[in-house]
Structure 1
Amino acid sequence: MFGYVSFAQLSTAIRSQLYTIPKDVDLIVGIPRSGMVPAYQIGLFLNRLVCDIDGFLLDGAISHGHTRKLGVSLTSLRQARHILLVDDSIATGGSMQKALARIKDSGYAGRISTCAAIVAPSHKSSVDVSFITMPQPRLFEWNAFHHACVENACFDLDGVLCVDPTAHDNDDGPRYEKWLANAIPLFRPTLRIGHIVSARLEKYRSLTEDWLAANNISYGQLHLVDLPSKAERIRLGAHCAHKIRVYRETGATMFYESNLGQAQEIATGSGKPVLCIDDMTMVMPGASHIAATAKSALWRLRAPLGLAKGWVKQQLRSSRTPVSGS
């Protein structure tokens, strides 16, 4: 089962533990690309300049907005006396060590503190600063559509790979067929999707396959609902039953679902986690979405109390989202 961190959780964890960052840090240096996510959050919270490692090594131009005055003013990047070298996570520690070696080999004589926002328990001591301790496997909001788990995952279609149809377009007739052919893409996974699981009807398979091909979305199998009409699908309540069955039978390890209500039902029915795209939260199987995600925040993230409380509040707000979509 995957541990999960969203942008919101990451921001909350950093904000609640800013005191762990040395007070004399005067420049934040991120390791591209994912390391720039926590690097900019830290830089904004501390009101410090932020750059990537290549910009620092080249002593590139300093640029920042003029809305507020910086906490530390630098005339050049390498003038910084104490830098915080930041990555989003540590798996083996290799990326951090390579980045650290590059800076030291450049002749930089200042102090370097290392930071990985998310660390495995076995690598917590590998960096000076971290905010979330989480064992592998793990998934982050910023890599969710490009993570290796995509290849063994089930993906909802409408609301995930493309925008949802409007009520006007979703007439199970000519307007819907036109919409299917011209649906606007939403998220495009980098890797081959294991299974696309949609409540679309089998009679629209050809139009759906054509759209997927036209948008260069690679996948293993396309699972649609074998019923004659939208009305019959609604009468039988086939949306979630279809998705739960495929999720269980395929042995997939993750389901990407657009709608929170359906995500809850799929998680409960399958006994497996569901990533809800509407609010980018991980819905865990259990008695309720709120209870499961609260438990996940307290146990899986092992975060400070402030993060856990913020996470529960976020889920209480999310639980008010009405159920809709396909």
Structure 2
Amino acid sequence: MNYRSIEDLNRSIVSNLGKVPRGTDLVVGVPRSGLLAANLLALHLNLPLTDVEGFVNGRILQSGNRFKKHVKPFDEYKRVVFLDDSLYSGSALKAVKEQVKGLYPDKEIFFGAVFVVPDGAGMLDFHFDVCKWPRLFEWNMMHSSSLENCCVDIDGVLCKDPTAEDNDDGPNYERFLADAVPLLHTTATIGYLVTNRLEKYRAQTEAWMARHNIKYKHLIMRDLPNKEARLKANDHGGFKASMYLKYDCWLFIESSEVQAWQIANISGRPVYCVDARKMIYPNVIRQTNGRVKKLLVRTLRMFSV
């Protein structure tokens, strides 16, 4: 799993500004994710920005008062960079090239991307970084068809966590289930919703999902009688890890960083932590910290005798 955050995107752009063709005077973002990358590049180079449609129509995106003095008539831009966030098959790139081919013979046009697959670099004039498949980007992960092969937590991911007052396993909790505040928005179908919510609250959970138009294939809940039994079991992360392995998914999206580490280390698979906004991978050092500490204590005792 090769994950890239918005921070990674920006870092890759900043550290590779020297790869941008010299004399570039206009940046064009390839819709839709490419607009994020192009906007960052244009800001770092202090250049005007437009999208593909704007370029075709000879239009530059509006700028603030500070930048207005740098904007020229469209005809005066001569070295233009088209930028996308990533390149995989090259189909989007091909479509854009056909769209602008021969449109402005007096302009020199370059095509680039921030992240490319290893065999994709040859399709471009420049690229910033290589990112192998499978890959996942923070800015579109919740709208990717890959969600069908993911486990996704509910509380803290799709909606806010219940407060201590909400979590009474009674009327307060039922009100929370009905009125939970949405968090991450998704337009793709989720393969497996995996939650420590109790099975007895399935109807309320399904109703909330339907009301917020969240599509999913499976809803997996705890088959325990009450909150006390769940607390006694004390295996929130373990339960989720077991479902992760059982359904052989390629990613688990979890809210709690503590549980994310548990899921990753038990399953041996990556977990995306919403609270920390980062990918967490199984950590051999973290798993062995306890044994290492005991060994150090024994060694120190030997030398202190």
8 Å CA contact retained: 1:78, 1:108: no
Change (3 A) 1:62 1:178: closer
AA aligned opposite 1:6: S
By how many angstroms is 1:30 displaced? 0.6
The reply on whether 1:270 has 2:267 as its aligned counterpart is yes
Give unmatched runs, 5+ long, in structure 1: 290-326
Counterpart of 1:20 in structure 2 is 19
8 Å CA contact retained: 1:150, 1:189: no
How many residue pairs were aligned? 287
1:287 to 276, 279, 284: 284
Residues 36-71 of structure 1 show CA distances to partners (whole Å, capped at 9, x for unaligned) of 0110010111111111010111112541112x346x
Q: Secondary structure at the match of 1:181?
A: helix
Tell me which stretches of 4 or more aligned residues in structure 1 moved more than 4 Å.
none
AA aligned opposite 1:13: S
Once residues 260 and 52 of structure 2 are traced to their aligned partners in structure 1, the CA distance between those partners, rounded to angstroms, is 39
AA aligned opposite 2:171: P
Once residues 235 and 285 of structure 1 are traced to their aligned partners in structure 2, the CA distance between those partners, rounded to angstroms, is 26
Counterpart of 1:144 in structure 2 is 141
The reply on whether 1:88 has 2:85 as its aligned counterpart is yes
The reply on whether 1:120 has 2:117 as its aligned counterpart is yes
Counterpart of 1:132 in structure 2 is 129
8 Å CA contact retained: 2:50, 2:60: no
Once residues 277 and 139 of structure 2 are traced to their aligned partners in structure 1, the CA distance between those partners, rounded to angstroms, is 10
By how many angstroms is 1:108 displaced? 4.2
Higher mean C-alpha displacement, 29-38 vs 184-193: 184-193
Larger Rg: 2
8 Å CA contact retained: 2:54, 2:61: no
Q: Secondary structure at the match of 2:120?
A: helix
Q: Secondary structure at the match of 2:83?
A: strand
1:210 to 207, 231, 243: 207
Counterpart of 2:37 in structure 1 is 38
AA aligned opposite 2:210: A
The reply on whether 1:76 has 2:68 as its aligned counterpart is no
By how many angstroms is 1:196 displaced? 0.3
8 Å CA contact retained: 1:6, 1:141: yes
Counterpart of 1:170 in structure 2 is 167
By how many angstroms is 1:107 displaced? 2.9
> Identity of counterpart residues, as a percentage?
38
Q: Secondary structure at the match of 2:230?
A: helix
Counterpart of 2:7 in structure 1 is 8
Once residues 248 and 107 of structure 1 are traced to their aligned partners in structure 2, the CA distance between those partners, rounded to angstroms, is 54
Change (3 A) 1:212 1:288: farther
By how many angstroms is 1:115 displaced? 1.0
With normalisation by structure 2, the TM-score equals 0.89
Give unmatched runs, 5+ long, in structure 2: 287-305
AA aligned opposite 2:27: I
Once residues 39 and 114 of structure 1 are traced to their aligned partners in structure 2, the CA distance between those partners, rounded to angstroms, is 12
| Greater RCO, 1 or 2 (C-alpha within 8 Å, sep 6+) | 1
With normalisation by structure 1, the TM-score equals 0.83
Q: RMSD value over aligned CA atoms?
A: 1.8
Counterpart of 2:294 in structure 1 is none
Once residues 76 and 163 of structure 1 are traced to their aligned partners in structure 2, the CA distance between those partners, rounded to angstroms, is 48
Once residues 75 and 261 of structure 2 are traced to their aligned partners in structure 1, the CA distance between those partners, rounded to angstroms, is 50
